Structure 1
Amino acid sequence: MAHYCSLHEPIVLYEAPPSDLVPAEIKGFVEWFNTSRDQIRHAPIRAGLAHLYFESIHPFEDGNGRVGRAVAEKALFQGAGRPLLMSLSQAIEADKTSYYAALQRAQRSNEVTDWLRYFVDLLLRALDESQARIDFVLKKARFFDRYREALSERQLKVVRRMLDAGPSSFESGVNASKYQRLTGVSKPTATRDLQELLQQGVLTSIGGGRSTRYEVNL
């Protein structure tokens, strides 16, 4: 694993085992993974160690991260006795710098306590994010059940666009100008539509005057 400051000055962050040793390392990993289920009681600890172990072998030219995350999630599923609705990938992508820094520190020492602290915190963030998405989907379904018949086609188009971004909603909400761009209507029509949506409780307003913007009221 290398980080390139320039084409001529690579900085090696971690050097994986030589390729001729990889088959034996993988065999040892698989044996450890299968026996560790009875030896390590806490699934998050086993998942964190499994991920670190696999990433340290680094057996593939590409795809080690994806397989390593799958291994960790399998360890979690085995510990819970059921699939968990979570995504390690999204949690890692949200702060890749911290992930690589923690992984690098752990791979340079046999002391893995700090790595496990980081990994358990990562799992908690992934679970929180999954819970937020589930809550959002349920709220979105109830929202459309309530308002679908009351909104015009262009109003539905804007609301759907605002909700497509997920729990974070439409960036900075929507104002009359943005509503115009999304629907192609005149500014007075956009203002009127937004006021109707506000009165119906579909939107909530933020700010005032020319800086007024609207967010979906879930």
Structure 2
Amino acid sequence: MSYNWQQKGWPEFQFSPGILDGFQVKFLLKSGKVSGQFAGISEDQKEQYLVETLLSEAIKTSAIEGEFLSRVDVMSSLKKNLGIHEEQPRLVKDHRAKGIAKLMVAVRQTWKAPLSDTMLFSWHEMLMEGNRYVQAGAWRKGSEPMQVVSGALGKEIVHFEAPPSEQVPDEMNRFIAWFNATNPEGEKAIRNPILRAALVHLYFESIHPFEDGNGRIGRVLAEKALHQGLDQPILISLSQVIEANRQLYYDKLKQEQRSLQVDDWLLYFANVVMKAQEKVEELIEFSLQKTRFFDSYSNELNEREMKALNRMLDEGPDGFEGGMNAKKYSSLTGASKATATRDLQHLRGLGIFLAEGGGRSVRYQVKLA
């Protein structure tokens, strides 16, 4: 069976008229609700929500590709690139964390600008920061086929093969022109933002123009399309939903890259967008809970306890990995073992900490609500 780019009519994708109209209405209503919540909060809270949304996207889009980054490294890098002051700036040595943070901020800050090869090359250079094995900021070259494979060495399964490298410049020129023309203000406007974002991602992934990083750049391109569709940068993390079921994502891409008829892909992607919106609402609620939490307890906590709690809550709604114990507390705050134990008991007594396990293996998680 041939791939989509080898078929007659490429790259004109076919789909049922009005297939995502219902999703569009729900998306616009939810976007309006979140925008209203966002507009009515303080500037400090806005910064907090923005950082946490970009952090989620950065961490999860990397995890989809098998890169597991430190949340605190990525968060510190995001704040630096957003110009947000940190009382104790963290020295980030991980180039991957610095690169993905730069990319997240750059995409958000240039959401309205037309797409160009210069912009894509710049994004790729950010993403590949510190990587000496990939030619950054250039389309892939060479005669070797660009394949998406899985399986053990010698037993690889080829899921997809992209166009040969010599075709990439022409394919990308056509893709960039299409992207700009389908902008809601363009000559071939696609006014349903979910439809356009879904087509953008599938189209880009089918070309696979870079040596590495195609998935991450393809996902931020989809988010750029959503921003443009609403004529404002929105809070959303598609990768958080995709990463939760990576196999389904890969299966859908594999299926749709063998046909120009893409109804199944559009429905899959629309559900990703809707779930991502729900996650944003959960994140805003989590951030509001954090604010209420510190307002309630700030007068009862010492500096060490505040530092530990802030660090734990930086891990997001999923909780502090492995929980907090006396050893971690001492390492984080510089407290002695006796002081750490006393602080932990104090936090438990206030009802802030929930204990897991017992004896020497006891560990704690924060109870926000």
> Equivalent residue for 2:282?
132
> Equivalent residue for 1:9?
155
1:185 aligns with 2:332: no
Letter paired with 1:130: V
After superposition, the C-alpha distances for 1:80-100 in whole angstroms (9 at most, x for unaligned) are 110011122333333322211
Q: 1:24 aligns with which of 170, 173, 186?
A: 170
CA contact (8 A) 1:133 1:167 kept: yes
Residue segments in structure 1 that go unaligned for 5+ positions in a row? none
Which 4+ stretches in 1 moved above 6 angstroms? 206-213
Structure exhibiting the larger radius of gyration computed from Cα positions: 1
Q: 1:34 aligns with which of 168, 171, 180?
A: 180
Deviation at 1:154, TM superposition (A): 3.9
Farther off after superposition, 40-49 or 117-126: 117-126
Deviation at 1:122, TM superposition (A): 1.4
Q: How many residues align?
A: 212
**Is the alpha carbon distance of 1:5 and 1:207 closer, same or farther for their aligned partners in structure 2, counting shifts above 3 Å?**
closer
For residues 51-62 of structure 1, the aligned pairs below 5 Å read: 51-62=201-212
1:90 aligns with 2:240: yes
- SS of the residue corresponding to residue 13 of structure 1 reads strand
For residues 44-193 of structure 1, the aligned pairs below 5 Å read: 44-171=194-321, 178-179=325-326, 182-183=329-330, 184-186=336-338, 190=341, 193=343
Residue segments in structure 2 that go unaligned for 5+ positions in a row? 1-146, 331-335
CA contact (8 A) 2:149 2:160 kept: no
CA contact (8 A) 2:197 2:223 kept: yes
Higher relative contact order (CA 8 A, sep 6+): 2
**Is the alpha carbon distance of 1:171 and 1:9 closer, same or farther for their aligned partners in structure 2, counting shifts above 3 Å?**
closer
After superposition, the C-alpha distances for 1:154-200 in whole angstroms (9 at most, x for unaligned) are 433443343232111234755xxx2465245349x83x655543553
Deviation at 1:135, TM superposition (A): 2.4
User: Aligned-residue CA RMSD in angstroms?
Assistant: 2.9
**Is the alpha carbon distance of 1:214 and 1:23 closer, same or farther for their aligned partners in structure 2, counting shifts above 3 Å?**
closer
> Equivalent residue for 2:333?
none
